[in-house]
């Protein structure tokens, strides 16, 4: 991507859902060099299948990581990262990433809340987060340590938000 005076910005929030002893886990750093390829892959998939899709991604040195995109309305949706290994105590995914541009209609937000119910405290935190946001509910905290998963979440959010131009900001502050 050449310089056009804009840079891509994605605000990612990670919120633990399950109680854990891993209280202070910070997300891994994204893998260098993988994001441009992933952004292009996701951009093409979003344009080709706006109704949603599942994808298996192979990043060098990591096992295949599955993701599912479940759009809700025109400007919101949830990126689902299923579990690597099913566990009896966990029936849902490892991560659910709610992507909100900040331009959603009340009807889209209501549809999102109905399709993916979460607690009122989580929903309020999600609505109050600065937009655009990839608000990730983490059910398996160990996935935060995995750079491939973090890279995929960031690349997907950049690709999705770039469709609307909501993740672009000026490199330099505008003079007053």
pLDDT digits (tens, 9 = 90+) for 48-100: 999 999 999 999 899 999 999 999 988 899 999 999 877 777 778 999 999 99
Is there a domain that residue 88 lies in? yes
For residue 108, give the nearest of 59, 75, 63, 142 by alpha carbon. Answer: 75
pTM score, whole prediction: 0.86
Quote the DSSP letter at residue 94: S
Highest mean pLDDT: which range of 16-20, 141-145, 165-169: 141-145
Give domain status of residue 15, yes or no.
yes
Domain that holds residue 160: 7-169
Question: How many other C-beta atoms are found inside a 10 Å radius of the C-beta of residue 17?
Answer: 17
Task: List, for residues 130-148, the tens digit of each pLDDT value.
Answer: 999 999 999 888 888 899 9
Residue 96 belongs to a domain: yes
CB 99 within 8 A of CB 42: no
Tokens of 49: 């299948």
In this structure, what are the phi and psi dihedrals at residue 5, rounded to the nearest 5 degrees?
85, 0
Number of domains forming the structure of the chain: 1
Q: Express as a percent the part of the chain with pLDDT over 70.
A: 85
Separation between Cα atoms, residue 83 and residue 165, nearest integer Å: 31
Residue 5 has pLDDT above 50, yes or no: no
């Amino acid at each position: 991507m050449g310089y056009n005076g804009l840079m891509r910005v994605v605000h990612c929030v990670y919120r633990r859902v399950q109680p854990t002893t891993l209280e202070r886990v910070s997300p891994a750093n994204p893998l260098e060099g993988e994001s441009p390829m992933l952004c292009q892959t996701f951009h093409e998939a979003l344009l080709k299948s706006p109704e949603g899709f599942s994808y298996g991604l192979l990043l060098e040195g990591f096992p295949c990581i599955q993701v599912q995109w479940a759009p809700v309305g025109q400007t919101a949706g949830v990126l689902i990262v299923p579990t690597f290994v099913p566990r009896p105590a966990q029936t849902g995914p490892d991560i659910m990433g709610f992507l909100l541009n900040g331009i959603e209609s009340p009807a889209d937000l209501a549809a999102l809340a109905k399709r993916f119910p979460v607690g009122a405290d989580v929903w309020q935190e999600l609505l109050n987060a600065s937009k655009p946001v990839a608000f990730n509910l983490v059910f398996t905290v160990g996935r935060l340590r995995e750079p491939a998963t973090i890279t995929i979440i960031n690349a997907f959010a950049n690709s999705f938000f770039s469709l609307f131009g909501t993740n672009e900001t000026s490199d330099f502050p505008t003079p007053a």
